A and B are shown apart, each in its own frame.
Chain A
Amino acid sequence: MGTRERRARANESDRVLNALFLAAHEQLHKGARVEIAGIALAAVGGYGRGELCPGSDLDILIIHNDHLSAEELSTFVNSVLYPIWDGKTPSTDIPRSVDHSVRTLSQTREAANTDLKVAMGLLDIRLVAGDASLVASVQHNAIDDWRRDSRRRLSELKVLLADRHERSGELAYLLEPDLKEARGGLRDIVALRAIAMSGAIDVPLERMSAAESSLTSIREALHIQSGRTKDRLLFQEQDKVAAVLGYADADALMSEVAKSARAVDYLMQSTWHRLDHRGKDGLGRFLRRPRVTNVGRGISVAHQEVVLDIGAVTVEDPVLGLRAAAKAAQLGLRLSMESCVLLAQSLRQDIGVLPNPWPREAREDLVALIGAGSAMVPVWEALDQEEIISAWLPEWRSVRSLPQRNFLHRHTVDRHMVETAVHAAALTRRVHRPDLLLIAALFHDIGKGTDDDHSERGAHLIEPLAKRIGFGEADVATLVLLVQHHLLLSATATRRDLHDPATIASVMAVIPDLQTLELLHALSIADGEATGSAAWSNWKATLVADLVERVRSAMSGSIVAPEPELTPEQRGFAEVGALRVEVFVRDSDYAIEIIAPDRPGLLSIVAGVLNLARLDVRSARTKSHGISAVMKWIVSLDPNAPIPTAEKIHADIHTALNGQGDLERRIQERVKSYSQLPSIPVPPPVVETFDQASSECTVFEVRSHDQPGLLFLIGDAITRCRVDIRSAIVTTLGAEAIDTLYATEISGGPLSVERTNEVARRLREALS
């Protein structure tokens, strides 16, 4: 089995057809020796490429120049084809199924013009017998027309492919896929070659040569093993085909199918993207240069793709790749193929390798990448194709394209985890630690691939992985628990008596607190939804929700972030009532401590000043003390922003506190300029209130997708309700923000129920 055998089959067919053609010619001229002219037999499609599997059709075209009568032509064609149909050829190794057409030059051109499949078949035309000049003309016309009319033909091709993919599904993930028709299959390879021949765009076909060779050999082995001409790789054939081709088992075979299909599909998707966006970037059409928008340190957007800036890949910036990936996913764009290749090359040369543990920025970028929902999938796929994911996260290697041959699952292990993360991204508002939810979702099945219990094995693998990503000890413990027990809620809810206190106690013995409970619940939902309807239904969701509510009501404690503590030094200066600003460098970020005379609206004023200084707030802890407020901000620098200094921030806050500087208008302008960048759909913000969390304050918790000026908007909405913020705890996890505000009436004391509802309503309005 292999290219040589497929070629031999094509050669054998050539010999047989040639002999039949000559015999028919002789018969036509009653044995007289007449030179062959005006008629030819050509191979098209797969046969034209010399690739014949045992079950392939013989795609042939008989071209003539209309010099024969209808009767003569019919006799000629019949005497070529009937021996094949009847199996009366000297060789038995040639296909008996013939797909033929008989046309003149102009009919051929006309057919190609109206039928895309004919046009594509002709691109591979090859002379088998007869008048070579006729075949040369057809070939010339076919390629010429294909190139000239590429815009129309390629858009037809796109529709054709989309229809076929819709019907046949994805080769990489189906349990019994069609090797030819499914997305990423052999027909897509032919389509890619046709796109390349159109000259409309450069297609790096060498990227799919390994995939093509694997898929073609598997198809050939399937035909031989099954003795049938079907291309669907059924369960019952997988073991036999694996054995014939020397794979360890059917899993290894299906893994190879998945890997090949993904390589083909990735090339296809990036080719369409480049075709769709070439020359569409504004001035690009005139200047022959794309419009480039800088969107982060070392990364830009061009041709609707995120690209790495020239010279950005360096030893000093190991976070570049993750930053680009997170940015691409959050903007809903692709990561360019060239950038991925560049990144992979540098990683192979040990340039830009992430340190252990990762810096905070890298961890947050990973969370922002996973948290982008379905926009993450093409970015992740691009990184995985270049083996960048495995370079960052070596544990990923063991689940890459790993098939799950059971009817519950519809994806390979790695894709299932990516899909779980996509579903988890929609649930981030339901939990207080979206970062832990997303990471647990992405790695919950990392232990699969051996005969051991995958949850236990996963727990062992996630521990060092989470430490390397840079999580603290408590977070690592939570992640280990989530991975180890990701099936606990589903299994308990369906198999144990929920009315029995012992059932609730058994769950509480594993889950330490409310925060972990809500994380595990969200993870169970995301896992179930990603697995598919066979594993997750309303029926099961109801049972799991019932269990969670029972456990929740049996648990005590609070999930509200506590108020920050102040140092004696901070308290001492706060009592002075003056403005003081200090700036410290902290890793790649800046810590800014501000002590300022307290007044309503201080939080939004300071947030606004930092925003205008192009400082991105990662976290903040603020607390009122006496006549001042003490604020500790952790900020990261926007690309091209000046280095922050205490003097500059001091002056800006001073100006703003005096009501000068037109803060609000400038913030609005800045928000507007951001809104010109593309965006992705995100879950709506959630505002929750807690009246029992503190005796002196009412607590508001805002969970939202991070956006420019978010904190300014929140602070501003609260101030407009004439409410004072006593403490604020601001956290950004990847692209998600959780802000907890301890609020009082200006005169002191917590808010009434009516006032609480009013503030919550205003907050929701401000964020919508």
Chain B
Amino acid sequence: MKLITAILKPFKLDDVKNALQAHGVTGMTVSEASGYGRQGGHTEVYRGAEYTVDLIPKVRLEVLVDDSETEAVIGVIVKAASTGSIGDGKVWSTPVDQVVRVRTGERGVDAI
């Protein structure tokens, strides 16, 4: 099993959610996040004064998937989240040892 984590532009969340649902992914966790990558924050000019926006608001999305589904789900996220411009975000996957559904006690793939 894998945990797929994606960092997205906030306005892309709805598109990604819809695409994942269409792909058959039924559950996900979404949280507010802030950070920067290669885009390194940006500089704004307001009434002659320059100020730097250090941390840019992003959305963090997490999905648990079976190993065999990993590539396909990453593909769905990347496709839906892409605008082609800087700051589109990142997607990565990490191995997961065990998953338990709290209500039923089911384990492994059954708990996804």
Contact = CB atoms under 8 A, between A and B. Distances in A.
Interface of A: 493-499, 537-540, 542-543, 546, 549, 552-553
Nearest to B12: A497
Contacts of A497: 9, 11, 83
A494 B11 contact: yes
B57 A539 contact: yes
A496 B11 contact: yes
Interface in B39-55: 44-46, 53, 55
A interface majority secondary structure: helix
Given A539-B34, A549-B44, A549-B46, A495 B11 contact: yes
A499 B11 CA distance: 11
B14 A539 contact: no
B53 A546 contact: yes
A496 B32 CA distance: 16
Contact of B34 (A493, A494, A542, A549): A542
A543 B46 contact: no
A537 B14 contact: no
A546 B85 CA distance: 18
B95 interface: no
Which 9 pairs of residues, A with B, have the shortest CB-CB distance?
A: A539-B32, A539-B57, A543-B57, A496-B11, A495-B11, A494-B10, A497-B11, A542-B57, A549-B46
B10 A495 contact: yes
A499 B85 contact: yes
B32 A540 contact: yes
Contacts of B34: 538-539, 542
Contacts of B55: 542
Interface in B54-103: 55, 57, 83, 85
Contacts of A498: 11
25 contacts: A493-B10, A494-B10, A494-B11, A495-B10, A495-B11, A495-B13, A495-B14, A497-B9, A497-B11, A497-B83, A498-B11, A499-B85, A537-B32, A539-B34, A540-B32, A540-B57, A542-B53, A542-B55, A542-B57, A543-B57, A546-B53, A549-B44, A549-B46, A553-B45, A553-B46
Contacts of B11: 494-498
A245 to B, nearest CB: 32
Contacts of B53: 542, 546
A539 B9 CA distance: 12
Given A495-B11, A549-B44, 17 more contacts: A494-B10, A495-B10, A495-B14, A496-B11, A497-B9, A497-B83, A538-B34, A539-B34, A539-B57, A540-B32, A540-B57, A542-B34, A542-B53, A542-B55, A543-B10, A546-B53, A553-B45
B52 to A, nearest CB: 13
Nearest to A537: B32
Contacts of B14: 495
Contacts of B83: 497
A500 to B, nearest CB: 8
A537 B58 CA distance: 13
B48 to A, nearest CB: 10
Contacts of B10: 493-495, 543
B74 to A, nearest CB: 22
Contacts of B46: 549, 552-553
Contacts of B44: 549
Interface string B1-15: 000000001110110
Contacts of B57: 539-540, 542-543
B66 to A, nearest CB: 31
Nearest to A498: B11
A689 to B, nearest CB: 11
A417 to B, nearest CB: 26
Nearest to B87: A499
B22 to A, nearest CB: 19
Contacts of A546: 53
Q: Which of B10, B32, B44, B85 has the most CB of A within 10 A?
A: B10
